[in-house]
Amino acid sequence: MNNFTQRAITGFFFVLIIVGSMWLGPIPFAVLCSLVTFGSLLEFYKLLIPDERSSFRLYGAVTGMVLFLLFMQFWDERSYNILNGLVFLLVFGTFVIELFSGADKPFERIAYLITGWIYIAVPLVLLFNMSMMDSAAYDFVLPLSVLVFIWTNDTFAYLIGRMIGKTPLFPRISPQKTVEGTLGGLVMVGVAAFVFAMYNDDYTAPQWIGLALTAAIGGSFGDLVESMLKRSLNIKDSGNILPGHGGLLDRFDATLLAAPCCYAYLLIIS
């Protein structure tokens, strides 16, 4: 099986699982997001602190998943005090735990843990909470649209870049990305936004286009940030859990910056 076929099969089931979990309801979607949080954090900590004991990396991944569940459960305004108290306790309790770890560089370990939580857990919380953004009722259209815009941008930026791309976009970090491919991806994302506007009147067509461009641009920067991480470590993939695609971080890298940008955009326009 060649790499393209492997990528296509993995990509099909990847999209099927994500869309299926959204369609089945908030609990399956939350379970999926929490598992992605856990797996992505394990990859992140394994890349950055490979010499640490596996129990420490597991602690970081588990606490990151707990943070996801806390933010998901107590996100509404009436529960902010509970959320703040629990998050403060978890985050600052890590400093106390390090008193008993005996590590040579405790603040370095703390920095890696908290960076992982901010970089991975928080964006996935925001992606999930888009489904509860406009009302108390669950509606997966917004998080699905963000992912569709990211996937559309990635796909057409790659295809158009392969066909006519000549001008490198960011050669220091990702030599294969081109200006032509990026512009082509943005145009096709605009088309996808019009499709959403035709079938959903919660937002106007210009607002859908704004969301689509925010997702595409934020996602492109997310991809570049993860490429910067891998280049700094001299590795090709963050893991090998997804055949042909690498690790979970490789698949959700765009989402990790796109989700916070899109959430901020939705707050502004609402």
Residue pair 56/109 in contact by the 8 Å Cβ criterion: yes
For residue 16, is it within any domain?
no
For residue 5, is it within any domain?
no
What residue numbers bound the domain in which 87 lies?
Answer: 26-135
Are 54 and 172 part of one and the same domain? no
Are 107 and 176 part of one and the same domain? no
Are 182 and 207 part of one and the same domain? yes
pTM above 0.85, yes or no: yes
Are 189 and 115 part of one and the same domain? no
Cα separation, 193 vs 187, in Å, equals: 10
| Of the residues 135, 170, 200, the one at which a domain ends | 135
Question: Structurally, how many domains does the chain consist of?
Answer: 2
Are 95 and 187 part of one and the same domain? no
Question: DSSP for the chain?
Answer: --HHHHHHHHHHHHHHHHHHHHHH-HHHHHHHHHHHHHHHHHHHHHHH-TTS-HHHHHHHHHHHHHHHHHHHHT-SGGGHHHHHHHHHHHHHHHHHHHTTT--SSHHHHHHHHHHHIIIIIHHHHHHHHGGGSSSSS---HHHHHHHHHHHHHHHHHHHHHHHH--SEEETTTEEEEEHHHHHHHHHHHHHHHHHHHHH--SS-HHHHHHHHHHHHHHHHHHHHHHHHHHHHHT-S-S-SSBTTTBSHHHHHHHHHHHHHHHHHHHHHH-
Are 236 and 184 part of one and the same domain? yes
Q: pLDDT tens per residue, the chain (270 residues)?
A: 556 667 777 778 888 999 999 999 999 999 999 999 999 999 999 988 887 777 888 888 998 888 888 777 666 655 667 777 777 888 888 888 888 877 788 898 889 999 999 999 999 999 999 998 866 688 899 999 999 999 999 999 988 988 887 888 777 787 788 888 889 999 999 999 999 999 988 899 999 999 999 999 999 999 999 989 988 888 887 877 776 667 899 889 999 999 999 999 999 998
Cα separation, 206 vs 194, in Å, equals: 9
Q: What digits encode the pLDDT tens for the residues 145-191? A: 999 999 999 999 988 988 887 888 777 787 788 888 889 999 999 99
Are 62 and 101 part of one and the same domain? yes
Cα separation, 60 vs 64, in Å, equals: 6
For residue 46, is it within any domain?
yes
Are 189 and 98 part of one and the same domain? no
Residue carrying structure tokens 């998901």: 72
For residue 15, is it within any domain?
no
Are 203 and 168 part of one and the same domain? yes
Are 53 and 150 part of one and the same domain? no
For residue 20, is it within any domain?
no
Q: Which two tokens stand for residue 233?
A: 């470590």
Residue carrying structure tokens 């992140």: 44
| Of the residues 112, 135, 158, the one at which a domain ends | 135
| Of the residues 75, 109, 135, the one at which a domain ends | 135
The CA–CA distances, whole Å, from 93 to 90, 101, 110, 251 equal 5, 13, 11, 31
Are 65 and 147 part of one and the same domain? no
Are 149 and 98 part of one and the same domain? no
For residue 239, is it within any domain?
yes
